[in-house]
Each structure stands twice: as C-alpha cells, then as structure tokens.
Amino acid sequence: MAESSVLAAGVVATLRRDIVKMPDGAEVAREVVEHPGAVAVVALDELGRLLMIRQYRHPAGGLFWEVPAGLRDVAGEPLLVTAQRELLEEAGYRAADWRVLADYFSSPGISTERLRVFLARNITLVPIHEREYVRHDEEAYLTVDWVPLPEAVRAVLAGDLHNGVAVVGILSAYAAQQDGFESLRLASEPEKL
C-alpha cells in the first residue's frame, strides 16, 4: 500500500481510501470500511430448534430475523466470551457446549469485517433477576422465538431470511448436523488467515 487516508470516522466503522500499488507498478484507489468484526451464535435446543431474534436494522430499513450477534468491541476479549455475552444480552440464554461453525469475511472486497459463527448447545434460560445487562437502542425492542432448524433452512432457500450471518450460520449448522456436529472445531480454536 502506497498511501492511506481516513475519509470519515464513525461510531462503529471508519471509511478510508487506500492507494494500492499493483504488481505492474500501477496505483489504484480503493475505499475500505474498517470494521471491528463480529461474532454470531446459532443456538440449538434439545429439540433441534434454532433461537432467532427479530430486530430493526436501520441501514436496511426494516425488521429482520437473525441469530444473536454482536461486535468485537471489547479490546482483548476472547471471541467465545464475546459470543457468550451476546447470547445472554440479546436472548437471555447460556449454553454449556460451544463449537465453531464458520469463520468468514462479510464483504472482503470493501470491508475488514470478519465474523466467527459459533454453535451453542445445551441451552438454559437465565432468570431475569440474574441478568446484569439491560437492553437498549435497537436491542430494547427485539423479540425472541424458537424455529425448527429445517424450517429456518427452508426460509433461507425461499429468500425469506436476509441477514448474512444468519444464513451462513443456519446452513452451516444444518450441514454440521449430518455427522452429529463431530466435525466442528473447538470454540477456542484461533481464526485462520
């Protein structure tokens, strides 16, 4: 990279322009959205139902069915701890069994946003009086529901679910279920790349 300049800095993301030197020596400009990354949680109960939340998303202008997820916004916090925190804060649940479903970049052509999708099983509801976190902003209005995993897969294939991390998580969980989740990585395994 030959040069980089910040175009705009926001609360969650920063937009920068990089001047990139190509192998032939030519220089090209590329805009990059710097993003801290995120985690998501595909939580399955003992009946094979998927925990989903419905949340308003301003950029897309509507309500979306999603899986619990959140930013990697606590410096030094392990990804598993971030995922456990998000599951508790957004849905009020804890899980005893954690695995990695997928690691990916949401849009590597323009953004640094990197996601890790976890599978959480052996789910228990945490009583309200034991929860320290109070939902606010968009989270204050979210709703929670349990959906059979095959029904969620059908919704993805029908084009009825539009949240990218939910789509990746749902299809990954459905595929991983075929061998009883035996091929999944441990939740503590570091990201690759």
Residues annotated as catalytic are 139
Of the candidates 48, 58, 54, the residue with the CA atom closest to the CA atom of residue 67: 54
Counting other chains too, the contacts that 123-130 makes at CB distance below 8 Å and 24 or more residues apart are 123/43, 123/44, 123/45, 123/46, 123/51, 123/93, 123/94, 123/95, 124/93, 124/94, 124/95, 124/96, 125/92, 125/93, 126/88, 126/92, 126/93, 126/94, 128/92
The contacts of residue 158 (CB under 8 Å, 6+ apart) are: none
Secondary structure E strands in 26-83? 27-34, 38-43, 49-57, 62-66, 69-71
- Residue 92 tokens read as 């009020």
DSSP H or E stretch at residue 190: none
Cβ-contact 187, 98 below 8 angstroms: yes
